[in-house]
């Protein structure tokens, strides 16, 4: 993708990117960082504090990526920093149980409606993989249903694309994923409950679980249509299927108890991550006691990890979750107010120029699509003008605003974003829009 030269001095980021490609595939350790969707050179970040971050060239930005979600209280929050520093002095890992794991587990169980027991892991991918395996072991069934456009990490049975027909099996989305994995994964259309019913009816007694991003965050931020989550719950109840909410992104971000609290639909299992590590690598899966007791060493389904529940991540997570528990009555109304003000301001700016768009937000996450059509699933998301989004992204970057470097990623904000950040963001957006209009 051709990108106009930036007015920013990114010379050091450019040198770092060139150097990194000699030792790291593509120069990045996760594809989302490569700017492939918007073109140009990825920023190499030096420091961050509160709602801002500064790159290696000294450019400072108001940050709407927030490490892709965990920075609900902003970067380098003092309570998190102190917790990590104190733990590091006692060692970063023991490979043995610690009391802080109990504290984090109890906070998760207290805050998330579906979770009676929880197992800590090291990433969202590990959480979703483990949850699906547990559902299969618990039900004695092999097939899973996932939704086109939902991302559950890079486990083999999640990297599956749509098949050739509406009720066919999926096909591998990546080399290295076997046809055997694809045979056990069924693809449904997001927000299409009738399609889910047809899939289940066509595979009676074979489906172990339905896993869903209850608010999609990996095709932009796409909320569930009315009745969609309720319909999934009804289908799972009727067919003894385990309903799994992947709340790695939405957990503690759209409400203290996640999407399930906000919309009042309770899954059988929940996958978590991001916020429960305070920015450190972490994941978790939990749910009903009868299901979770199927996990080793209590039950027969094996899952293990040397660094699972490591004390550094648990100390950071405990600082974040305990703050949420203490201050949730103030935190979430504040986030809602910012969300609504940001959305209104963005829409006013776009309307003033007569641009076609569709904007969404749920809690402290949102998305902007340059499209005339309402976005409800992968197909409608793909109709958005990605070239216009790329131009918009770079124009914002030049104005000191860092949004997601892809049309199909959500943006995030937290309590560190206040009136000053809101005012500067909307002023910068007006300037950026004039550049691309």
Residue with tokens 């109990």: 102
Among the listed residues 246, 332, 338, 389, the single catalytic one is 246
> What is the sign, positive or negative, of the torsion defined by CA atoms of 5, 54, 333, 113?
positive
Pair of tokens at residue 208: 């172990």
The answer to whether the bond into 55 is cis (omega within 30° of 0) is no
**CB of 211 closer than 8 Å to CB of 144:** yes
In Å, what is the CA distance from 339 to each residue of 49, 101, 186, 260? Answer: 21, 33, 35, 19
| Cα 83 to Cα 251: distance, rounded to the nearest angstrom | 21
Distance of CA 208 to the CA centre of its chain: 24
Exposure on the CB side of residue 239, measured as CA atoms within 13 A: 25
Using N-to-C axis directions, what is the helix angle for 311-353 and 419-436, rounded to 10°?
50
Any catalytic annotation for residue 294? no
Among the listed residues 61, 64, 138, 151, the single catalytic one is 151
Alpha carbon dihedral 175, 180, 183, 185, in 10-degree steps, equals -70
| Cα 233 to Cα 215: distance, rounded to the nearest angstrom | 15
Pair of tokens at residue 187: 């693809």
Neighbours of 238 (CB within 10 A): 10
Among the listed residues 117, 146, 274, 323, the single catalytic one is 274
Using N-to-C axis directions, what is the helix angle for 311-353 and 78-88, rounded to 10°?
150
Any catalytic annotation for residue 274? yes
Q: Are strands 143-148 and 185-189 parallel, antiparallel or unpaired?
A: parallel
Q: Which of 136, 228, 224 is nearest to 184 (CA)?
A: 136
> What is the sign, positive or negative, of the torsion defined by CA atoms of 199, 200, 201, 207?
positive
157-177 in b/e burial notation, b at 16+ Cβ within 10 A? bbbbebeeeeeebbbbeeeeb
Q: Which of 212, 223, 222, 236 is nearest to 132 (CA)?
A: 212
Per-residue 3-state assignment (H helix, E strand, C coil) for 235-278: HHHHHCCEEEEECCCCCCCCCCCHHHHHHCCCCCEEEEEHHHHC
Any catalytic annotation for residue 323? no
Q: Are strands 401-402 and 242-246 parallel, antiparallel or unpaired?
A: unpaired
Catalytic residues: 151, 246, 274
């Amino acid at each position: 993708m051709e990108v106009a030269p930036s007015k920013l001095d990114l010379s050091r980021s450019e040198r770092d990117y060139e150097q990194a490609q000699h030792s790291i595939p593509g120069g990045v350790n996760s594809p989302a960082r490569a700017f492939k969707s918007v073109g140009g050179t990825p920023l190499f970040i030096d420091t961050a504090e509160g709602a801002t971050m500064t790159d290696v060239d000294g450019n400072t930005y108001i940050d709407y990526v927030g490490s892709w979600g965990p920075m609900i209280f902003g970067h380098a929050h003092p309570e998190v920093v102190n917790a990590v520093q104190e733990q590091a002095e006692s060692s970063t890992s023991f490979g043995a149980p610690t009391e802080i794991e109990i504290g984090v587990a109890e906070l998760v169980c207290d805050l998330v409606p579906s979770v009676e027991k929880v197992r800590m892991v090291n990433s969202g991918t590990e959480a979703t993989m483990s949850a699906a395996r547990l559902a299969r072991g618990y039900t004695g069934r092999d097939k899973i249903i996932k939704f086109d456009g939902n991302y559950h990490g890079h486990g083999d049975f999640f990297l599956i694309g749509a098949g050739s027909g509406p009720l066919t099996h999926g096909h591998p989305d990546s080399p290295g994923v076997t046809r055997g994995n694809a045979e056990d994964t069924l693809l449904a259309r997001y927000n299409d409950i009738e399609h889910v019913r047809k899939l289940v009816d066509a595979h009676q007694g074979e489906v172990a679980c339905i896993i869903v991003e209850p608010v999609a965050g990996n095709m932009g931020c796409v909320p569930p249509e009315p009745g969609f989550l309720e319909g999934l719950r009804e289908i799972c109840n009727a067919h003894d299927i385990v309903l799994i909410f992947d709340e790695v992104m939405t957990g503690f971000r759209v409400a203290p108890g996640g999407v399930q609290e906000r919309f009042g639909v309770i899954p059988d299992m929940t996958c978590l991550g991001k916020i429960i590590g305070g920015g450190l690598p972490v994941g978790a899966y939990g749910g009903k006691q009868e299901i979770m007791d199927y996990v080793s060493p209590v039950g027969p389904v094996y899952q293990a990890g040397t660094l699972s529940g490591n004390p550094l991540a648990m100390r950071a997570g405990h600082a974040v979750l305990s703050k949420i528990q203490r201050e949730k009555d103030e935190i979430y109304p504040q986030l809602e107010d910012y969300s609504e003000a940001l959305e209104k301001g963005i829409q006013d700016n776009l309307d003033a120029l007569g641009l076609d768009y569709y904007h969404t937000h749920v809690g402290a996450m949102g998305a902007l699509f340059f499209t005339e059509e309402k976005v409800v699933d992968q197909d409608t998301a793909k109709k958005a003008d990605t070239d216009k989004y790329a131009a918009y992204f770079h124009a914002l970057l030049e104005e000191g605003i860092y949004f997601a470097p892809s049309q199909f990623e959500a943006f995030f904000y937290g309590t560190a974003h206040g009136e000053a950040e809101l005012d500067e963001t909307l002023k910068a957006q007006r300037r950026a829009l004039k550049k691309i209009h």
